[in-house]
Amino acid sequence: MKTLNDFNFKNKKALIRVDFNVPLNDRFEVTDTTRIVSAKPSIIKILEDGGSCILMSHLGRPKGIQDQFSLKHIVSTVEDILGVGVIFVNQCVGEKAQQAAANLQPGQILLLENLRFHQEEEAGDEIFAKQLSKLGDIYINDAFGTAHRAHASTTIVAKFFEENKAFGNLLAKEIESIKKVMETGEKPVLAILGGAKVSSKITIIENILDKVNHLIIGGGMAFTFVKAQGGKIGNSICEDDKIDLALAILKQAKDKGVQVHIPIDTIAADAFSNDANTQTVAINAIPDGWEGVDAGPKSIAQFREVVMQSKTILWNGPLGVFEMERFAQGTIELGNAIAEATKNGAFSLVGGGDSVAAVKQFGFQDKVSYVSTGGGAMLESLEGKTLPGIAAILE
């Protein structure tokens, strides 16, 4: 796997696909800088070598050129984080962009305008990709968040660089972390899947059954499995059309020797509200009119034990409706256990959508081994798919 550390960038212009698709408030201030901070190591390495950086990214979902989606809004934040001035050009292809790239000196950073101002970006247009490729000498992909898309800047552009292309530090770290869970992880390997829907995780479950020793199924997803096994789940969320599938998964897991852990008890609420009345009940005996909204104490204790035995841990999806304070306990306790196991030497990877939000909300991001920066890209990797942005570098 070629990374940017295999190159010396002295007097070279690195064309870097970063993921600066950051949230902005109504005053156009960046409200979460994680993605910019994550891109810093690659950029600094190139500058320290004596090279220059041409940064390209998308921001939001513009329809044509729309000022509110201009990357000009993030320039000062990028400068603050990198500690280096940033030249901004209001094009990503065209004469101005070419001129700005041609004038770029070692040690300088150029930020191009939003790639998605051109519909050719998402269409994976070759001519557009070729125009982008003319701007730099070496192509670096450091945007995991878009690596599952075959867009011009994430995938197609790579073909114009032959040998001169590599993964940035961030993307390399993402790939290594996933590999540690899926291939090289020390056993026992545990996957924890929570969240709302079986249907959105089904391909992941099927793929990881060959890789893990333990599987915890929690959150709203668990109720489809409980109902499949004949339990009474009251008003809990359930995908009735996935019941047969749930049974098939349990059988597959048994055949493959994977130990599946489903919650034993649950916090049941009489409404989907933080102010609801609650009671702790067995997961398979939820009274009519009540719904399971968080893992119960027995389940948490059991999950904790599994976590503490595991040497490699993947966590995707919360154990309850963590957005409501009273139903966040299961998710917090699970985070605590994973943090403790990590401290004791386990490798822990958190990724995919809401688990990342939960980890950040409860301050676990520095207590686990790695928090993935890509939602969809992470889920597709766990499904066993080869991401086009990654394949394009390896080709």
What is the binding site for ligand AMP (CB under 6 A)? Answer: 195-197, 200, 219-220, 237, 292-293, 317-318, 320-321, 323, 353-354
Q: Strand 109-112 to strand 87-89: parallel, antiparallel, or no bridges (unpaired)?
A: parallel
Q: Please say which residue, 51 or 374, places its beta carbon nearer to ligand AMP.
A: 374
- Catalytic residue check, 50: no
Return the structure tokens found at 98: 């070419």
Q: Please say which residue, 124 or 218, places its beta carbon nearer to ligand AMP.
A: 218
Q: Please say which residue, 219 or 374, places its beta carbon nearer to ligand AMP.
A: 219
**Residue whose CB is nearest to ligand AMP in the complex, by number:** 195
Select from 381, 373, 300 the least CA-distant residue to 335: 300
- 377 Cβ neighbours under 8 A, 6+ residues apart: 144, 145, 146, 147, 148, 174, 387, 389
Cβ-contact 358, 318 below 8 angstroms: yes
Candidates 13, 17, 35, 227; catalytic one = 35
Cβ-contact 283, 222 below 8 angstroms: yes
34's enclosing H/E stretch is: helix 34-49
Nearest distance, CB of residue 33 and ligand AMP, angstroms = 23
Q: Please say which residue, 115 or 378, places its beta carbon nearer to ligand AMP.
A: 378
Give the count of beta carbons closer than 10 Å to the beta carbon of residue 380.
20
AA identity, residue 190: L
Q: Please say which residue, 234 or 388, places its beta carbon nearer to ligand AMP.
A: 234
Q: Please say which residue, 97 or 233, places its beta carbon nearer to ligand AMP.
A: 233
Candidates 130, 197, 232, 304; catalytic one = 197
- Catalytic residue check, 27: no
Nearest distance, CB of residue 245 and ligand AMP, angstroms = 16
- 235 Cβ neighbours under 8 A, 6+ residues apart: 286, 288, 289, 290, 291
* C-alpha distances out from residue 233 to 152, 243, 291, 292, 333, Å: 47, 13, 7, 8, 23
- 179 Cβ neighbours under 8 A, 6+ residues apart: none
Candidates 60, 107, 376, 384; catalytic one = 376
Burial zone of 367 (CB within 10 Å; 0-12 exposed, 13-18 middle, 19+ buried):
middle
Select from 322, 267, 325 the least CA-distant residue to 299: 267
Nearest distance, CB of residue 19 and ligand AMP, angstroms = 20
244 alpha carbon, distance to own chain's centre: 29
Nearest distance, CB of residue 321 and ligand AMP, angstroms = 4
Nearest distance, CB of residue 331 and ligand AMP, angstroms = 8
Dist CA 32 CA 358 (whole Å): 15
Q: Please say which residue, 200 or 259, places its beta carbon nearer to ligand AMP.
A: 200
- Catalytic residue check, 35: yes
Render 120-189 in DSSP notation, one character per residue. Answer: HHHHT-HHHHHHHHTT-SEEEE--GGGTTS--TTTTGGGGGSTTSEEE-HHHHHHHHHHHIIIIIPPSSE
Nearest distance, CB of residue 281 and ligand AMP, angstroms = 13
Nearest distance, CB of residue 296 and ligand AMP, angstroms = 11
- Catalytic residue check, 194: no
Candidates 353, 374, 375, 389; catalytic one = 353
**Active site amino acids:** 35, 197, 353, 376
